Amino acid sequence: MASRLFTAGVFAASVSQVLASCAYGTHLDPRAEGGKVKVNTFAYSGTNASKGPLNWVALDATANALCATGKTQSPIDMVAGAFNTLPGSSINLQIPNMEETEFENLGTTVEVIAKGGSMQVGGSNFTLQQFHFHLPSEHLDAGRSMAMEMHMVFEGANQEIAVIGTYIDVEQGAAAAAPVTEAPAAEAAKNKTTAAERRSKMSRRASLDAAKDAEGAKTIPSMTLNPVKAEAASSNLLATVFSSLDAIKEPGTVTKTGALDMQEVVTLLSAGQFQSYMGSLTTPPCSEGVQWLVSTQRLMVQPQTFNAVRDVIGFNARFPQNTLGQDNILQVAQKTVAS
């Protein structure tokens, strides 16, 4: 099935004039000459809400038509039946370590230029062009969003686009749960009942929250940050990348990273599995025919690192799209309103 994903016909509609952070650095959106960083003109929320996902098609009705009409749009909820599963080692992912590389602010995300990596999918070879970040995650993991998502964008010899999506979660440390501070000895008797009541309320609240989380995972997609206990140590790669955020706080700015240990992410992803499906860019022009490989592995960051990224990126996630093959979710909404 994978070999059918990259036919010339599938990608013919994708080769158009676009401005897309998910495809920046590929044939779809070549980098500006002279080292200048192109700042994206679309948006997600806030004062630029009129340029957000609900209205991307209005920014360019021709180029962005698929944002409102496409039937294989991304991101999606990664539930059983929506994807095929591939062993992580099957794509022969190879990305060399980097002494340094450019790190830039596109206005809608921050992006690392990463040349030299490669992978093989469906008999085709792909080379890594860049990786960037979304906050919160764009794909849902069986109904639950994660703190962030990293997109590693690859391009094939015939201009095919493939993207590895990796969830990023926040490591739960001592700072994530403040300890209960006991009252001084002189105040202990006075505060005894109050402290006991507080602990009782906290216990009841924790039980209720746990029940709500369990039920929410079955029914309503969660878009909140839920730090979890680390399944692995915090990523040195991400810590190094994000340590340079201060230098690119403003859209259009660029800096250099420190040395990047790309072997860390290669080892992690190769040890897991990929959930594979054919979808689209998650940014305008929402071009379809994009091979998605969403990893079952997660990268971890410290809470302070997540906060630093959030301060620069803000919110930059497209809402989950309809089931693959069904009408575009915007068309469904329009029909509902009209009925």
Burial of 50 (0-12, 13-18, 19+ CB in 10 A): exposed
Better-scored residue on pLDDT, 246 or 191: 246
- How far lies 129's CA from each of 23, 236, 282, in Å? 9, 21, 17
My answer on whether 147 and 293 are in the same domain is yes
Pick 222 or 45 by higher pLDDT.
45
Say yes or no: 36 and 50 in one domain. Answer: yes
Indicate if 99 and 29 belong to the same structural domain. yes
| Percent of the chain's residues with pLDDT above 70 | 72
Q: Are residues 11 and 90 in the same domain?
A: yes
Confidence at 231, pLDDT banded by 50, 70, 90 = low
Lowest model confidence (mean pLDDT) among 1-15, 78-92, 124-138: 1-15
185 and 37 within one domain: no
Q: Which of 105-114, 141-150, 210-219 has the lowest mean pLDDT?
A: 210-219
**What mean pLDDT, rounded, does the chain reach?**
81
The count of structural domains within the chain is 2
Whether the per-residue pLDDT at 220 is higher than 70: the answer is: no
CATH number at residue 239: 3.10.200.10
| Same domain (yes/no): 53, 200 | no
The answer on 150 and 109 residing in a single domain is yes
Shared domain for 159 and 210, answered yes or no, is no
What pLDDT sits at residue 307? 98
pLDDT at 202 over 70: no
pLDDT of res. 26:
53
**pLDDT for the residue numbered 24:** 57
Note whether 49 and 109 are same-domain residues.
Answer: yes
Q: What percent of the chain has pLDDT over 90?
A: 65
pLDDT for residue 223 is more than 70: no
Distance of CA 57 to the CA centre of its chain: 22
Contacts of range 40-43, beta carbons closer than 8 Å, 24 or more positions apart:
40/106, 40/107, 40/108, 40/283, 42/108, 42/283, 42/284, 43/108
* Position with higher pLDDT, 216 vs 101: 101
Q: In terms of domains, do 106 and 237 share one?
A: yes
Q: Are residue 157 and residue 286 in the same domain, yes or no?
A: yes
The range of the structural domain enclosing residue 179 comes to 174-222
pTM: 0.77
pLDDT on residue 115: 82
